[in-house]
Structure 1
Amino acid sequence: MQTSGHSPDIHENKYALYQETAESKGAKREIEAIARDLARAPEEIANVYTELYADLKAHARVPDYVRVFAARKVRARFQQPHAADG
């Protein structure tokens, strides 16, 4: 895992999608945890998480677990080997 002297701040506008304060704080914690676990920049994780979260939330019948599913999808996406052609 790479460590630098400081962790870059994730811009608050990334969290405009999350309507409730608690939801926003939870998303930020989730993104930071994923970034730490995968040794990636939080901004990189936030971009993918926000995209997946928006899609899942738009189609969710029960939105209670959208954060959980978004986090799982982000982890899976970053743990998959990249396709050679693209």
Structure 2
Amino acid sequence: MPETLPRSHTSICECEEHLLTFYSFPPVMHRYIRSTNAIESFFSNVRQRTDQIGAFTTETSCLTIVWATMQDIHLPRIPVS
């Protein structure tokens, strides 16, 4: 276990720019970016639609339902100031 700590530290330091991208956005947007509510809501909507169908005959028919669900979602506008 202790030998993994230096590797973890090195990995974090190498990716620091990507890990802290969140802070380059205006503070008003932080709560929208860090929240997974939109993602969880999307998966919940897809699950509701696909559960009603039960079984799909092809992968394309499943993807069609997922696409249709995506088209029906209306996300709130994020205030940028």
**TM exceeding 0.5:** no
TM-score where L is the length of structure 1: 0.33
TM-score where L is the length of structure 2: 0.34
Structure ranking higher on relative contact order (CA contacts 8 Å, 6+ apart): 2
Larger radius of gyration: 2
